[in-house]
Every structure is written in structure tokens, then in C-alpha cells.
Amino acid sequence: MKIISYNINGIRSVINKGFCSWLKINNPDIVCLQEIKAFSNQINTKLFEEIGYYNYWYPSIKKGYSGVGILSKQKPKHVEYGIGLKSIDQEGRVLRVDIKKYKISIISLYLPSGSNMIKRLKYKFLFMKNFFLYIKKLKCKLNNIIICGDYNICHNKIDIHDPIANKNISGFLPKERKWITNFIKLGFIDSFRNYIKKGENYSWWNYRYNSRNLNKGWRIDYIMVSNYLKNRMINCYHLSNIKYSDHCPVVLEII
């Protein structure tokens, strides 16, 4: 079974670039998408249905901004939109499906960026606090959670190309990095790091400065897996050669 997490930086853009043909060839069982940047009625959902996917979308109320989606070969028994807080949910950042056949609950997460450190960093920390509490509560009911997404945080020094120059930049602030540590302590495995220990493996590159060709990137996309599912994990890796957006897909294989 193959699960893909991918910040696509615009669903309509990647569709125009041949994303659906790529999906058909690779045939993942579940795909978690972030930053769809479209309302549900702006997405040609028939393209996904034709290649065998049930598809669910949770857009931001703001036009052309944020939003998440999930594609699944199996129809979920339950779909949950948001975490129940209007201030958080209006940006369309959390979508969960519970799939009986796979015996998993999977979340597509798009954690806010704090790159505008005056306007958005405070909101990012508010989101982090409330999402942490939401997952802590959810884990009391579900022990089979997989959280795929763009966390907009590099956890350790090996997850960023220049930890010294970026030490005071949102995405690598001590408080953000500690949040990832504490999140893992809730009972999750950073699936990529479970298999790949070396650095210079990134999932996002700035469009400017020739960053991708120079591999000056950040690892901010994760698939966090509940400890309960550890024995079902087979592998996790990046598809760094796939360039539909400024991120690359993260792939988890489980049984």
C-alpha cells in the first residue's frame, strides 16, 4: 500500500502540467494534497474519478489560498473537515478520512507558514497549539493515525541546508523545532527519518536563487505515523525528481 503526501502549490496548475497522468502511472492508494488554492467547484473532479479515486476537498474561504485534499482508492467510512475551531478551519488546513479496509485514519495537514514574521507568526503558533491539542485528544479515540503534510518546520539541523543563516527564520525557530519534538512524543514516528538518516534530503526549495538545482532546500514535509502502526511500515522516501511544484512528494509504503 502506497501513501503520498504532496504540497502541489495549486491544484489547477498541476492538473495542467499532467499530474493526473502521473498519478495514473504511479497508482498510489491514498494521496494527501496541500495548498490546493481552489474552491471545490473549481476543480475538475472527474479527472480523479476516471482514474479510480474518491476525492475530498477542504478549501480556504479565501480565494486562491491554502486548502487541502485527499484522494483515496477506497471510500472512507467517515470524513472530518477541520478541527472544530472557526479561526483555524476557515483556512482549510486539516482534513481527515477514516478508511475501514486499510484500518487507518489519515490526515492531510497544511500548517501555516510564519514567513511574514509580523503578521503570520502569531497565527502559526496559535494553529500549532490547537492542532497539538486536537491530535492529543484524537489519539485517545484512534491509535491508527497517519498525518501527512506540509508542517512548515524543519526539525533538526540536517533538515535545512543552512541552519546557521536560518536560525532566526520562521520554519527553524527553536520554539517551532521543539513543537515537532513534543509532537513526536505524543506517539508518532517521523517515517522518513526512520529510514533515511543522512542530511541533504529536502522536500521544498525556493523558486529563486536556483535553489533546487543547488539543493539548497528545507525538509518541511512529513508523514507522521502512530507508533501503533510501526510494524506495518515498509519504507518512506522522497520523489525529489518530481517537479510539479516547489515541493516534492513524500511516499510511505505500509502493509
Give the residue numbers marked as catalytic: 150
In whole angstroms, give the CA distance from residue 222 to residue 82. Answer: 19
Are 43 and 12 within 8 A, CB to CB? yes
In whole angstroms, give the CA distance from residue 145 to residue 103. Answer: 9
Residue 4: closest CA among 35, 26, 36, 37: 26
Residue 170: closest CA among 208, 214, 116, 239: 116
In whole angstroms, give the CA distance from residue 185 to residue 180. Answer: 9
Strand partners, 5: 32, 250
In whole angstroms, give the CA distance from residue 44 to residue 57. Answer: 12
Cell 481552489 found at? 38
In whole angstroms, give the CA distance from residue 87 to residue 90. Answer: 6
Identify the three-state secondary structure at position 224. strand
Write the single-letter amino acid at 54: Y
In the structure grid, which three cell numbers stand for residue 222, read together?
512529513
Write the single-letter amino acid at 14: V
